[in-house]
Amino acid sequence: MSGPVLLILRFLLALGLYAFLAWAFLNLWRDIQQQSALLATRRAPPISLTIASADRPPQVRHFEQPEITIGRDPACECPMDEDTASARHARLSYHHGQWWLEDLDSTNGTLLNQERLSTPTVVISGDEIGCGKTRLTIALSGDMRMPPTQRIADSR
């Protein structure tokens, strides 16, 4: 009599284990789907660039996409009529919750607040980008006004 009882208990234990695993995987799947939907709806905050050059009045351009290419090429999101700028001069991209500026190996380099840009750098409202003779001032919507990015002194 103990043989059939043990067999039934083993069967119930296996059934309980499989039910627990199914419940755990279902909850894990739902969490992944929820996080995926949340990340898919997250957008880059709008950014505005005030473009100023010596030969024309300042112009303000508004962008809502997460990546903006700046340069002479008409295919750039922010094209410039500037002889001293490269075809694809610099890129603004939104990731990790911040806007980043990087030089795209331009011939004359990219300046950020009158300092040559060598690595991708976080930018904030009020920062000034230099592409050739053209200056672009960044304005982030909903951003608290902060002083422009400062260069961190080398600790050598």
Residue ranges of domains in the chain: 1-42, 47-140
Residues in the chain: 156
Tens digit of pLDDT for each residue in 32-65? 998 887 766 667 789 999 988 878 888 899 988 8
Whole-number Å distance between alpha carbons of 13 and 16: 5
The architecture that CATH gives domain 47-140 is Sandwich (2.60)
Contact predicate 48/77, CB 8 Å: no
Using pLDDT thresholds of 50, 70 and 90, give the confidence band for residue 106. confident
C-alpha torsion angle, residues 78, 67, 126, 103 (rounded to 10): -80
Cβ burial of 105 (10 Å; 0-12, 13-18, 19+) is: exposed
pLDDT in tens, 51-100: 888 788 888 999 888 899 999 999 999 888 888 888 899 999 998 888 99
The CA dihedral of 126, 83, 69, 95, to the nearest 10 degrees, is -40
